[in-house]
Structure 1
Amino acid sequence: MYQYNVQAVEQRLVKTLKRRNREATVADLVAETGLPTFQVEEQLKRIVNDYQGHLKVTESGEILYHFPGGMKNQVSGAIPRAKRFFRKVASVGGRVLKTAFKVWTMVMLVGYFVVFVLLIVLALLASMAAQAKGGSGGGGGGRGRMGGFGSFYLTTRLMQMSMYLWLYSGGRPDARGRKPKERPLHQSVFAFIFGDGDPAAEWDERERRAFIAYLRAAKGVSTVEDLMQLTGRSYNDSQQLLNRLALEFEGEPDVTESGTLIYRFDQVLRSSDRLEQSARGTEFHRELKPLIPFNTNKPGLNKWIGFFNGFNLLFGTYFTAFALSFPAVSEEGIGAFFLLVATLFAQITTNPVGLVFWVMGVIPLLFSAFFFLIPVTRRMRERRLNEQRARENVRKRVINAVLSNPEAVDPEMIDVSGTPGVDDARARALLLEAVRDYAAERGAEVEEKRAASGNAPPAYVYRFTEVAREQQDVDQLRSMRKLTDHDVGDVVFDSGAD
């Protein structure tokens, strides 16, 4: 929290101020960005200076930050301008290098495939020429011609597949002859290796904004169950997160007269908006966290990319193995192909075997091996994350069901169909696990609904009596709190006024 990316925080605050017509309190910025209060307060000092902001003071003593000149950095001088210039250069340079790396990856994949195919063509032509020269009589010549034709056909098909991969991402034309706009091939190849990113990359930020929105609707009071309903985390994880949020947003733990643990977040209620109008609930508790896909390529395209890389891996292994076993390479069988390629390389170097070893063997072998190894390793990590997200998505639905009727929670009545990334059977298993774990944590009463019969397991109904009591206690507390107590009031001083 105390060590953060200053530039990233500044950019988010500036964008938020633009959306709010260049005026907001600290609480407003915290609510809309999800940033910790400390980071907002510290960075606002710099933003006020760099963007020539004005400070207004309301009747309640709340500071209102106002930027009448627009959200443009007004700092002059060679050093600040140079820093901004080099930041832009670095940003553009990074995008250029990333694009160049994507293109290089695609060129390595397709380029080596084409080179290997061309070498096969040369080997087949040499074989056909040798058969034609050494053939005697019609029988032998007929076999040579048929074998040559079959080999030539195979090579032609390989070349067609390489062209198909090259053009695949362009899409097929529709009935009017127009091709759909799809991403270039080099981006699809890059996505095969590194994926397309996490569709929930900004989920934590959205959770924080949703939590602040909920606090404003709930008059600044939260319980652990409230946070569980928003995030789907376990009870212990939600307790730890709530402690951290209390530190970030200046919340305080408290205990009601009935012994219910609550957290008060009074600072997030101090807004320049009228709280009666701005205090809205959130539907975030209904949203399910998306899982990470392998990539967004079409399945057919992924298969072609895998085939081409496997082809390169096979030939890279072949050349590496035969180069290491040279000179004990037989002129018969598959060794003849290696000797032919070495003979071709002898036209440009005095060490053709060494050149074949590195250029045709080690480089494509290592490239192709990492081409497969990186996505395999990445997918193993993503599967662990997806399993965790599936559990949180199911737990969200469980907590929603518990809070809607804690006195009678029937797992069979909780709908978990459509949970991202898992089938209904797996979702039901996660549901029962989540209910049992939460019941154990909160000391719920368990009643048998239906005894086991045959292959059907027994069914139970859970009564979360303590959760119901706490809900009633918190609702009573919220009813006694007045949102108007946190209204910042009218402006009584403006540093930009004449």
Structure 2
Amino acid sequence: MTPNPTIMQAVEKLGYRVTVGDVSSHAGLNVAEAGQGLLALASDAGGHLQVAETGDIVYQFPRNFREVLRNKYFQMRLREWWNKVWEVLFYLIRISFAVFLILSIALITITIFIIITAANSDRNGNNRSSSSRDGGLFFFPFPDLFWFFSPNYRDRQQQRQYQRHSQRSQESDLNFFEAVFSFLFGDGNPNANLEERRWQEVGAVIQNNQGAVVAEQVAPYLDNLGESYTQEYEDYMLPVLMRFNGKPEVSPEGQIVYYFPELQVKASKTRHQSVSTYLEEFPWRFSAASSGQVMLAAGLGVLNFVGALILGVLIADGTAAAQLGGLVVFVQGIYWLLWGYGAGFLGVPLVRYFWIQWRNKKLAARNRDRLSRSRLLANPDDGLQRKINYAQQFATEKVIGSEDLVYSSETDLIDQEIERSAQIDAEWQRRLQEGSGE
């Protein structure tokens, strides 16, 4: 069984000495999954089991357990190698869109220049004196095209000043090539680890309340609670109970509280974990690029698409390409690829912009719903306060120290028995002395 990376990270953050409850609440994992994962990790990484008098188990891991696993598992070494290779490949994929955009603009511009220059040369050869007056199909787009693509110096100065102002108001760590990819496809799902965050925060809430909570304390981190009449039965707590092996308890007033025995056992005393009052989903951003970079990418996209349209007019009849050959024939052969890329370069961000607006509206509604539930805890009514007080009767924290251990796989069993017998004798002597003193 390959070690679970989430459990490995939890072990490191918790100081290499953990219980199943520690890992389950910290990582938001199912208790059974955390238990199996810790057993597998201890077996593979040379960890040790420490058993307390109560029967609770603590797992002790060496600080170099990752190195032990790396030497043992070829699959883990292969995964780490592939992660490094994929980082490079993915970066090349990201910058390839900007590279192709630049190549597309260059090919279109050069081809248009070649066609128009050839057309002008033909007219100059036929009638040099009338060449400036008799403009044809291949002539009139040329000056307009370069005027549009090459604004004067003052316009360029104003554009650079605007970009510098935009960068001050919205800094970006992306270079031009990365910004183009961000403009096209965004920067990934900001809530990709939402479920992981959800269960981590639920686990933190349970531990901060010493393993005993009411449904209202957990509700701000959950979704799909059902209709108002079904929420009274608190069915939405069932996944929480299953994940963390919780148990319900009914108060004399008929209210239900929940406690989680396995999350009440800890390997060491810990402070309360910092946890937000509700699970907040982060809004989708159109792009992490600065506004100046977005405008530049959009401007180049428009430039590329307009150039493709003009080129399509110039090569529509195929005569120019047949006469000039070479690069013009090549560009004519891939024209629809260039046109399609130009259309997609503008179409994809446009569609994505409206999709993000729609998605953020739904996201904001879910955030408001969870926030409204969290506000019930800020000023609880008398009924809720009595419910919370009743839950505190089941709140407890059991910290297993070295003095509580009866067995550890770190030392020989005979040595442990000798040490244990000495402890038992000392305890008997203390009790005898207390009895004789009375």
Q: Does 1:195 align with 2:186?
A: yes
Determine the structure 1 residue equivalent to 2:430: none
- 1:336 Cα deviation from its structure 2 partner: 7.3
What amino acid does structure 2 have at the position aligned with 1:483?
T
Matches of 1:73 and 1:281, distance apart in 2: 29
Determine the structure 2 residue equivalent to 1:331: none
Structure 1 residues 181 and 219, CA, compared in 2 at 3 Å: closer, same or farther? closer
Determine the structure 2 residue equivalent to 1:473: 386
- 1:406 Cα deviation from its structure 2 partner: 5.4
- 1:271 Cα deviation from its structure 2 partner: 0.9
Which of residues 230, 236, 249 in structure 1 aligns to 2:226?
236
Determine the structure 2 residue equivalent to 1:32: 26
SS class of match (1:72): helix
Determine the structure 2 residue equivalent to 1:207: 198
Matches of 1:369 and 1:154, distance apart in 2: 19
Matches of 2:308 and 2:128, distance apart in 1: 37
CA RMSD of aligned residues (A): 3.7
Matches within 5 A, 1:47-196: 47-68=41-62, 70-74=64-68, 80-135=72-127, 141=132, 151-152=142-143, 154-155=145-146, 158=149, 182-196=173-187
Matches of 1:347 and 1:209, distance apart in 2: 62
Structure 1 residues 98 and 240, CA, compared in 2 at 3 Å: closer, same or farther? farther
Task: Choose between structure 1 and 2: higher helix proportion.
Answer: 2
Determine the structure 2 residue equivalent to 1:368: 342
Matches of 1:292 and 1:109, distance apart in 2: 25
Contact preservation (8 Å) 1:22, 1:70: no
Deviations 1:125-179 (A, max 9, x none): 2344345444565x864787xx989945842762689xx9xxx9xx869xxxxxx
Matches of 1:204 and 1:134, distance apart in 2: 74
Structure 1 stretches lacking a partner, 5+ long: 1-5, 174-179, 323-333, 408-467
Contact preservation (8 Å) 2:112, 2:311: no
Q: Does 1:340 align with 2:320?
A: yes
Structure 1 residues 132 and 72, CA, compared in 2 at 3 Å: closer, same or farther? same
Higher normalized contact order (CA 8 Å, seq sep 6+, divided by chain length): 2
Q: Does 1:18 align with 2:8?
A: no
- 1:282 Cα deviation from its structure 2 partner: 4.5
Structure 1 residues 290 and 84, CA, compared in 2 at 3 Å: closer, same or farther? closer
Matches of 1:55 and 1:363, distance apart in 2: 63
Matches of 1:339 and 1:34, distance apart in 2: 68
Structure 1 residues 69 and 291, CA, compared in 2 at 3 Å: closer, same or farther? closer
What amino acid does structure 2 have at the position aligned with 1:340?
A
Q: With structure 2 as the length reference, what TM-score do the two structures score?
A: 0.75
Structure 1 residues 375 and 46, CA, compared in 2 at 3 Å: closer, same or farther? farther
Which of residues 333, 336, 359 in structure 1 aligns to 2:334?
359
SS class of match (1:236): coil
- 1:56 Cα deviation from its structure 2 partner: 0.7
Contact preservation (8 Å) 2:212, 2:392: no
What amino acid does structure 1 have at the position aligned with 2:238?
N
SS class of match (1:74): helix
Structure 1 residues 221 and 358, CA, compared in 2 at 3 Å: closer, same or farther? farther
Matches of 2:241 and 2:279, distance apart in 1: 24
Q: Does 1:405 align with 2:376?
A: no
Contact preservation (8 Å) 1:254, 1:261: yes
Matches of 2:133 and 2:348, distance apart in 1: 48
Matches of 1:262 and 1:23, distance apart in 2: 30
Structure 1 residues 108 and 386, CA, compared in 2 at 3 Å: closer, same or farther? same
Determine the structure 2 residue equivalent to 1:248: 243
Contact preservation (8 Å) 1:196, 1:296: yes
What amino acid does structure 2 have at the position aligned with 1:403?
L
Contact preservation (8 Å) 1:211, 1:230: yes
What amino acid does structure 2 have at the position aligned with 1:365?
W
SS class of match (2:64): coil
Determine the structure 1 residue equivalent to 2:416: none
Q: Does 1:483 align with 2:384?
A: no
SS class of match (2:174): coil
- 1:81 Cα deviation from its structure 2 partner: 4.4
Matches of 1:149 and 1:81, distance apart in 2: 69
Q: In percent, how many aligned pairs have the same letter?
A: 18
SS class of match (2:407): strand
Structure 1 residues 477 and 386, CA, compared in 2 at 3 Å: closer, same or farther? same
- 1:28 Cα deviation from its structure 2 partner: 0.7
What amino acid does structure 1 have at the position aligned with 2:105?
F
Matches of 1:293 and 1:338, distance apart in 2: 44
Structure 1 residues 98 and 282, CA, compared in 2 at 3 Å: closer, same or farther? closer
Contact preservation (8 Å) 2:47, 2:62: yes
Deviations 1:53-104 (A, max 9, x none): 0111123221110023632342598xx5432332233223322321222232
- 1:473 Cα deviation from its structure 2 partner: 3.1
Determine the structure 1 residue equivalent to 2:365: 391
- 1:284 Cα deviation from its structure 2 partner: 0.7
- 1:119 Cα deviation from its structure 2 partner: 1.8
